[in-house]
Amino acid sequence: MGMSKLTELAAATTPNEVQASGMATGSPYWGLLSGVLTALLWVLSIPPFEFAEAAYIAFIPLILWLYTQPSKRLCAAVAIATGWVAWFAILIWLRHVTLFGTLALSGIMAGVFASWVFLVWWLVPLVANRSFFLRALVFAGLSGAWVVLEWSRTWLLWGFPWAPLSLSQWERPVVLQIAAWSGAYGVSFLLIYFNFCIAQTLRNRVVQRARKLWTGWFSLDLYVAIALLGLCIFVFFKSLPQRQSIVTLFTAAVVQPYIEPELKWDEAKELENLEILERQTQFVASLEADIVLWPEAATPWPVSGNRQMQEWIEALVNTIGKPILMGNLAVDRETDRWYNGIFLVEPHTGLVDSFYTKRELVPFGEFVPPAFGFIDKVVPVGGSFVPGSGAGLLELTVAEQAILVGSLVCYEDVFPRLARESARAGAQVFFVATNNAWYGEEGGAPQHAAHSVLRAVENRRPIMRCGNGGWSGWIDCYGTVRDVLRDEHGSVYFRGGGSYTVLQFEEWQDRQSFYTRHGDWFVVVCAGLALISLLLGRALKCTATCARNATVTSV
């Protein structure tokens, strides 16, 4: 027996495992093609693109290439390049604020993605020809590892859990309903696991040229993938509300002043900005509505800490005769402490003393991390902002009924734990005030709004949104976008306003979802599955090494 044949035998995972005939080693050209296809499908699956189904196949090209066992260096190059290109395309709207920051952030996210790809590169070839049950367990572990990495982004680099894979399904309520139990992480797990099942099926059919019914197209892996989708459909139908169970909460009138962010605090434009806000408010107040909504940091001066500004808003509220729920700023002049939050101003009684303070501040926008003191804030107002520490619910009275509002400012709706904390505290509806005008008129606003869909399903609470220039609308507790404000051209980016009526279903009026009550338990399960897969991989690697040594000794 020649040495080349010995090498082939030793490469097998176990003595009983046969390498796929004709299976080429990792080619850089196939690696490049797989990376391009994966990046393209990944980007197309994320809003504003409307190709949610791409998430079910996005990672198949890369997984199939990893089956060919490319070198570690080539794997690293393809993984980082794929992740960097994909994330830069997903975050392209961020370049309007900082091109360097967009490139750097995309690179960091690519590094997180590459760490997952390395796990796939190591584990998948070890179980490719193993039993279905062992392979299914490892696939679950790799899908769990993806979830753990998504969760880690909630605190990595001050927190940036933007665009989880589950975001791709924001317009697919049938798939999203499992989030009420597992959180949106369960949807991401499903999508990644589906990719593995289909990739394995294709490998069996194309690479190994399997022709048998049960090991070809109709493999057990394919059955599992279909069963997972069936589970989502079952949960969807079981979750449907009963007929005639709709409760009307209130009608909200929304103001979109669409003031350019760089002009919002321009001293020469401050009075003009207030005139725009007043004119639009009086316009929407003429609609049949119970409350008026303003976006984040609506006025050029703080509503709390600036007596003149407070009196101007209170006078406007008394004129329209309706309360205003707004995003705005507060400042303590003695300590120069600034707060970004949500405030309620009511007719006759004026500004409510208690307000919500934003809990997750934007690095380099609202504060500068101590280690980067040489860099100035992007937002040209105030000093460093102070984060809040609690849910800070606001009580809104409509038709003598008290409704507790949970607030989220700007990108806080991308953090699952913040919405959950508010829901656990008793929030009956969420209000998201934001200013996405910083990011142009591309995909930033709808991509951001899609995160609110996930939070609505997770906590079974309706969410109303008000943006400076869009996206403004509301989402019901099943993740269905009920209303979006658009202009005559169908765009969400415009100056104007409108109204929508917020509804809830009786069965969720006084109930909390499983996820609200139990939190990220599914992440713990995923971490356990990932750990088991790592231990299995190590055991299989040791078995392969022992088999190789035994083969060489016998020869």
Split the chain (555 residues) into runs of 10 and give each run's mean pLDDT.
36 38 63 96 96 97 94 95 97 91 94 97 91 93 97 90 97 96 97 96 74 59 91 91 86 93 70 91 91 93 92 95 95 88 95 94 75 57 79 91 94 96 97 90 93 98 94 96 93 93 93 96 97 91 69 55
- Which residues on adjacent β-strands are paired with residue 337? 332
Phi, psi for 253 (deg, rounded to 5): -100, 130
Asked whether the beta carbons of 507 and 242 are under 8 A apart, the reply is yes
pLDDT at 480: 95
The answer to whether the beta carbons of residues 329 and 309 sit under 8 Å apart is no
Residues 177, 194: Cα–Cα separation, whole Å: 17
161 CB-near residues (< 8 Å, 6+ apart): 150, 151, 153, 154, 414, 415, 416
| Contact status, residue 515 vs residue 180, Cβ threshold 8 Å | yes
According to the model, what pLDDT value does residue 156 have?
A: 85
| Ramachandran area for residue 205 (φ above 0: left; ψ -120 to 50: alpha; else beta) | alpha
Q: Which fold has domain 252-510?
A: Nitrilase/N-carbamoyl-D-aminoacid amidohydrolase (3.60.110)
- Neighbour tally for 249: CB within 10 Å: 21
pTM of the entire predicted model: 0.90
Contact 543, 13 (CB under 8 A): yes
Residue for token digits 């079981």?
238
| pLDDT, position 429 | 97
Which pLDDT score is estimated for 371? 60
Note the pLDDT of residue 263: 65
Outline where 396-486 has alpha helix (H): 416-424, 444-459
